[in-house]
Amino acid sequence: MASENNKRRRKGSKQPPVEIWGSFFDTPEEDDKHAHYIDEEPYGRFSWRRILHRFSLWKLISTLVALGILAFIGSLVFLTWVPQDLSEIQGYKAITLQNGNTPTPDIPTLLKKAISGKEAVTFTEEDINSYLSTSLKPPTQSGPPLSHPHGVGIRLFDDYAEIVINRTIGNTYNQTVSMYVTVKAGDAHHVRIEYNGGEKILGTFPRGGRLGVLPLPEGYTLILLQPAMESLAKAYADIFDLIKNSRYTPVLGKGKITLYPPPAQITTPSQTT
């Protein structure tokens, strides 16, 4: 009986029509005027008018913008944890996967031989990475993961190289970080090293490296990789000293690096095998 009375009451009530979409553009005063009639909708019953009244156009836009920003940040974080495909690097092998039977070039010996003969010498990307995989020592348990990588690989391009460090966070997560290095000839047989390379980010910012597969500007990679690069330079100080003291000039090319003696001493380059 009560339900029938409610139905009659709803049929007999004459409420002014409510502009459902008007609340998207109304002023606060007009919004309050519509709220009086919307609040008379029986509770417990689905009402589009009540739902639409809860939102304004600006609330909707701000919500969509906030969700877009969160999605963008989330995608960037995700890309930092996607490791690079190291199988594309010629000669690369992680320290834990070293095979003592794999022949690798003895780069220090070959370099000394070239210097004594005043010859230019060329090392391929595979030569360098094979030597790195057998000469790097496994990380110590107490050392920081950035300073003691689980693997180092080098990609060689025209005029610049990408040094990739493979590291493990804890005992589970694998992550790669990399730095671009550009080598340019300077005065008096010196070379100038810049910590960037390749196409600029958004055509403006020098590309310094990658965290995962996410490109990073130059300054951020210096902060992230300074301990690792210092550790790597110390591990191969003998090679760097040989190049520096002999005034050899490194020239980077696609998949190779050629070391040239001072111009008066240049002879035919020797290719390592």
> What digits encode the pLDDT tens for the residues 172-225?
778 899 999 998 766 655 677 888 888 888 888 899 999 999 999 988 888 888
Question: Per residue in 106-142, pLDDT tens?
Answer: 999 999 999 999 999 999 999 999 999 888 876 554 4
Cβ 150 vs Cβ 94: under 8 Å = yes
DSSP string across 123-186: EEHHHHHHHHHHHSPPPPSSS-TTTS-SEEEEEE-SSEEEEEEEEEETTTEEEEEEEEEEEEE-
**Residue 216 in tokens:** 């990073």
At 67-94, the pLDDT tens digits run 999 999 999 999 998 999 998 999 998 7
φ, ψ at 167 (rounded to 5°): -135, 160
Which pair of tokens denotes residue 71? 């999605």
Name the 3-class secondary structure at 86: helix
- pLDDT for position 11: 52
Q: Calculate the alpha carbon distances from 83 to 46, 165, 214, 267 in Å.
A: 49, 10, 10, 42
pLDDT recorded at residue 228: 79
Q: For the purposes of burial, counting CB atoms within 10 Å of the CB of 225, is it exposed (0-12), middle (13-18) or buried (19 or more)? A: buried
Mean pLDDT of the chain: 77
Rounded average pLDDT over 163-171? 82
Residue 147: pLDDT over 50:
no
84 close to 177: Cβ distance less than 8 angstroms: no
